[in-house]
Amino acid sequence: MTPTSRVGRAVPVVPALCLLLGCEDAGRQRTAPPREAAVESESPSAKIYPAPLQAGVPGDPDSPSALAGPTGTGGASGKRLAPPVVRKLPVQGPVEPELLADLDATGYQLDLIAAWPPTQATINLRGESVRLAPTWTMHLLPETARHPARLRVELSGGTLPLPAGTEFLASADADAWLVVWPDRRSYRVVPALALGTILEEGRVDRVPIVSAEVTLVGSGRWLGRDTRRIEVTDAVGTLTLDLVDLPEVGSAGPLACAFFFALLRADARQHCAPGTLPVAARYAWSRDQVFDVGAQRLVPRTDYRTGDFALPPRLGLFKPGELPPLAAGASLGPEDVWTEAQATSTWRVQNHHDVPMYLIVDGVPLARLGPHVEETLRLGPGEHRHAARDFLGQVVESGGTASGTGNGTAGRVEASPRPTVQYGTPPELEVE
C-alpha cells in the first residue's frame, strides 16, 4: 500500500468566528510551509513530512522580546515574585504529590469556541439546542506567594476528540502538562508539544521544538478590548494570535499562550509576557486550510479552589500510556437525528487518510472515522450533503451530495458493493 495523501481537497473558509462573535478582521493569512517530521513515538501521518528545520532547545525564558508587551507582574497581588524553580515531571511514572493548601482563590475564566465549517455551531433537535462546534474553557489561576501560576484547559462541549470534561493542566513551575480525565483523579504526563497530536490523532508524540519567526502585524479588538496581533510562522503553519493586556492574570497568561503555540510546536516563552492573555487564534495550514478559535467571554472568578489546580490531582490515579476513552465518535449519531423507522438508507463510508476524520452530513457531525477504516451507517432516505474534516482543520474534504442504498425488508441492512462516499486517495489495486 502506498502512503495516502495527507491533505484533501481545499475548500474556501469564511471567517466564521468573526461572523459569529462580531469581531473585527481576524488578521492576515499566509500559506503555511510544509510540515516537518516527528521524532519519538512517530505519528503515522508524520512519515510524509520533510525533515525538521530545527530541533533545538527552548529559548531563554528570561530573554526580553519586543513583542512581549508589558513587563512581568506578580499576578493578582501585583507584587513581583521570584521565578519558580522548574520541576521535571516523570513521563513514565506518577507525579509526586505537592504540598498545596486547598484554599479559596481568585482567577479568570476564558470561554472559547472554534469555527468548524462546514458544521453548524448548534442544531435544534426535538426542541433542544445541541452544541456542535467545539468549545473549551481556560481556567487561569495567577501566581501568589503560596503557589506558581496554573492553567486548566477544559474541553467543555461540542464535537471533541476527547470526552467532555477532559482537562489539560499546566503550571509555571512544571516542564510538562497533565492530561486529566473527567473524573478529576486519573491523569498522565505529556510533553507540551504533544498537545497537537493528542487533539488531532488521539496519540501522544514526542516532537522537537520548531524554529519560528514571530512578527508584530498590527492590532485588533476582541471582547471590547484592544489587542496586539502577532504572527508566528514555522514549518508546521502560521498562527495569528490576538493578545490583550491584563496585568491581573500574571504568569497564567503565558501558560495560555503556550497552549496555542504548542499546536504549532513552537516555544512561546519569549513572546508572551506575564500580564498578556491570548483571546483569538487563527491557524493557517497547508493548502489554505484554517482553524479559527475565538473567546466568547472573559470573566473574573472568586470561587476557585487551589486544590482544583493541584498537580497531580488530589488522590490522583496515574494512567501510563493511556488517554481518556471517547465513548462516542461525535456529538451526535445518526440515531439521534433519525428514528429507526426513518433510517431507511445505508451508507458505506471509507476514510483513506492517516488521521481520524469526522463525517458531516447536512452540517451535522455524525461519525468519527478512524484512519483507513470503513463504517456502515443508517441515515434518512434521499440525497444528503456530505463532507469530512479532521479536528484541527488540516484536512478538509468538501464532499458533495450522495444517497445510500435501501435497507431492505424489516429494517435489514443491505450494504452496497461500492462505498457510498470515500475520503482521501484509495490504495492502489494490487497487480497479480
- The pLDDT tens digits for 297-350 are 999 999 999 999 999 999 999 999 899 998 766 778 899 999 999 999 999 999
- The pLDDT tens digits for 11-21 are 333 345 554 55
Handedness of CA 377, 383, 384, 386 (dihedral sign): positive
* SS3 at position 21: helix
Residue 28 · residue 219 · CB < 8 Å: no
Which pLDDT value is given to residue 93? Answer: 85
Residue 283 · residue 392 · CB < 8 Å: yes
How far is the first Cα of the chain from the last one, in angstroms, to the nearest whole number? Answer: 14
How distant, in Å, are the alpha carbons of 12, 240, 282, 358 from that of 159? 21, 23, 19, 9
How distant, in Å, are the alpha carbons of 68, 86, 306 from that of 89? 27, 9, 20
pLDDT surpassing 70 at residue 150: yes
Going from the N-terminus, what domains does the chain have, and what CATH number goes with each? 16-85+102-318 (2.50.20.10), 334-423 (2.60.40)
Residue 168 · residue 152 · CB < 8 Å: yes
What's the chain's Rg over C-alpha atoms?
22
**CA–CA gap between residue 373 and residue 388 (Å, rounded):** 14
- The pLDDT tens digits for 43-65 are 444 333 333 322 223 333 333 34
Q: Give me the chain's average pLDDT, please.
A: 82
Average pLDDT over residues 164-189: 96
Cβ neighbours of 320 (radius 10 Å): 10
- The pLDDT tens digits for 269-298 are 888 999 999 999 999 998 789 999 999 999
Which pLDDT value is given to residue 200? Answer: 95
CA atoms within 13 A on the CB side of 9: 10
Residue 113 · residue 131 · CB < 8 Å: no
Which pLDDT value is given to residue 300? Answer: 98
pLDDT surpassing 80 at residue 39: no
